[in-house]
Amino acid sequence: MGMSLVKLVVWVSWLAMAVGAEYVKYKDPKQPVAARIKDLMSKMTLAEKIGQMAQIDRSVATEQILRDYSVGSVLSGGGSEPLPEAKAEDWINMVNAFQNGSLSSRLGIPMIYGIDAIHGHNNVYNATIFPHNVGLGATGDPELVKKIGAATALEVRATGIPYVFAPCIAVCRDPRWGRCYESYSEDHKVVEQMTDIILGLQGDPPTSRKGVPYVGGKGKVAACAKHFVGDGGTTGGINENNTVIDMHGLLSMYMPAYSQSIIKGVSTVMVSYSSWNGQKMHANRELISGFLKNTLKFKGFVISDWQGIDRITSPPHANYTYSVQAAIQAGIDMTRSLLIRLLQVMVPYNLTEFVDDLTYLVDSKVILMDRIDDAVQRILQVKFTMGLFETPMADFSLVNELGSQAHRDLAREAVRKSLVLLKNGKPGSTPLLPLPKKASKILVAGTHADNLGYQCGGWTINWQGFNGNNSTRGTTILGAIKSTVEQSTEIVFRESPDANFVKSNKFDYAIVVVGEPPYAETAGDSTNLTMIDPGPSAINNVCGTVKCVVVIISGRPIVIEPYVSAIDALVAAWLPGTEGQGVTDVLYGDYRFSGKLPRTWFKTVDQLPMNVGDSHYDPLFPLGFGLKTESGASIVSRYSPLTYFNNYSCMHVKNLLPVDEMSWMPLISDGFGMNYLINCMYVP
């Protein structure tokens, strides 16, 4: 009955328009998108066009500002939420209130609301948090990643938001970079494959629309490939630093994933803070307008990073008029450069500063009107394509998708497929994994065993992540162990047990979970890549006394070589997210290990940067390495040949180890080092 009433109201409103109101072509969904864009732009003033090129944070947005300035977009920065532990309905009500402001503007152009949803809907309480990209790269499963994109889209739409700043398609070449966990792999081919997440987020575009921005309905979102281009190759792994590489290297290493993203219909591209050979990417006309738009034929819109335009100058905002000129001329269509400064004032002075500066530059013919029209046309192209003019307001029909059991099951699957088994048994001993569920008494230790925030990493609820178990819903690894082992098994948890405690208890085995604290961006840059204390002492105190499996929770390879000989089994679990049960699924043998290293694991940080193919390649574990909990023969079958293994490393290993098959086969159970040899025996 209620729905019939809604249909009647809609029919009456359309009838009123047909009878008494002026026909407006851009509001007619039966018209081609190109015709609607042309009609709308013919009606827009310069101020309205420039307004569409601005994006402001929700904390400074009001309905009046959106109405008066025709602002094109609103976003939630990391941790920016309507209220603590906001429900889906709270988000929807906030987004719709802002949209009301936009729709009440002179032309009624809807704004597009965006949010960082880089491993699930990570800003939102109770959302499913998937493994960070480095873990997804370890799965080697593009179809799984596509499903994760689809699940993320539903959870984002459940909160009324139609646009995400994801995926990050950086190729991280140095784990010292604080954003390395946002990269799927050091291998650009793996990153290219994982761009299938765009098809999950946006939907599969029709064959006839390949290469054109596409969003397939109310259950999908506009995606954003970032950060264009070369952000993962900065000198020293320093965030926002300079990437030194020639054009051939840039195009072969960092550009292919953008080409794939465009083919798959990505709607937007975000520019990197970093520089290329000394030139700020936000001012690089050759690459943004020349290569991205003209050569790759990207038809969506290009957006700046947070304050990216300001940072064209040093110090930031030293000459804002020049920064606006350089960025817009380079080809940036929408700017997020005014966000932090807007927080300081009640009236959006810096929004008017952007509008005034850009207006002055156009009036002075420093920036041509064609450049403004190109930017606005691209923004409107995305808005029309995603149906924002027809359905600008969000409803409550998808609220149950947020944190749904189906999505948590998918995340759990992703966790178990992302785990990489690096060692399983000491020389001459039987493999430790899988662990028995029935035991007399077991020890669980380490800083990360019972800490959901550490397990999820940065970009979770808050920009820099959180510490503890209270900021969102999920299952810690300790909680997963408790629900997996037999009820008769006694579980003792000590975050940092001393050696005497371990010796005085007769533990059947121990699980030690250690790693990095949460971090994001520059705060994560590291020159030493060490685990946090008391991680090392927990390993030494436990593994020297009882059989132990060490689980590393980290966004990248960290220093573990000094401890490996004392460890019975070693697992790289990356940043698995809220579904800790995926870890125990594999530790206890309900599923087999299948993950492969998406990154080279170094011996010492002095080797960095070191990537497969380098002349000095001498890793602790090579790219593509990963054991399975199977027989030795199966391991050999699984890893022959290892695609990423180079002949230099094989020659080095064969010189150190016996090469007679009968002499090395009994050593397979070591699970460490010998696998180099296993791989090399089958490399041509």
| 544-to-421, 440, 448 alpha-carbon distances in Å | 20, 20, 20
> Quick check: 330 and 339 in contact, CB under 8 A?
no
Strands (E), 185-288: 224-228, 242-243, 268-271, 275-276, 279-280
521 catalytic? Reply is yes
Here the contacts of 55-58 (C-beta below 8 Å, separation 24 or greater) are 55/114, 55/303, 55/334, 55/335, 55/336, 55/339, 56/338, 56/339, 56/342, 56/348, 56/351, 57/339, 57/342, 57/343, 58/82, 58/94, 58/98
- What is the Cβ-side half-sphere exposure of residue 113, based on CA atoms within 13 angstroms? 28
The alpha carbons of the chain give a radius of gyration, in whole angstroms, of: 27
- For 228, the 3-state DSSP assignment is strand
Tokens of 650: 């094989």
Q: Is 194 helix (H, G, I), strand (E, B) or coil?
A: helix
Find the angle CA(111)-CA(115)-CA(120) to the nearest 5 degrees: 140
Residue 182 known to be catalytic:
no
The SS3 call for residue 112 is strand
- Phi and psi dihedrals of 149, rounded to 5? -60, -45
How many residues are recorded in the chain?
A: 684
> Which of 627, 611, 630 has its CA nearest to residue 674?
627
Pick from 368, 341, 10, 388: which is nearest to 222 by CA? Answer: 388
Please write down the HEC assignment for all residues of 491-528.
EEEECCCCHHHHHHCCCCEEEEEEECCCCCHHHHCCCC
Backbone angles phi, psi at 421, to 5 degrees: -85, 115
Cβ(675)–Cβ(662) below 8 Å: no
Helix (H) or strand (E) holding 455: helix 452-456
Q: Which two tokens stand for residue 122?
A: 């990570």
Phi and psi dihedrals of 90, rounded to 5?
-65, -40
Q: In this structure, are strands 301-303 and 420-424 parallel, antiparallel, or unpaired?
A: unpaired
Q: What ranges make up the beta strands (E) of 117-170?
A: 163-164
Q: Which two tokens stand for residue 318?
A: 């030293």
DSSP labels for 273-341?
Answer: SSEETTEEGGG-HIIIIIIIIIIS---SEEE--TTTTGGGSSSTTTTHHHHHHHHHHHT--BB-TTHHH
Q: How far apart are CA 466 and CA 463, in angstroms?
A: 9
Q: Which of 196, 231, 521, 585 is catalytic?
A: 521
First CA to last CA distance, the chain: 72
Q: Which of 453, 458, 459 is nearest to 477 (CA)?
A: 453
List 196, 305, 450, 568, catalytic entry: 305
Question: Which sequence positions are flagged as catalytic?
Answer: 305, 521
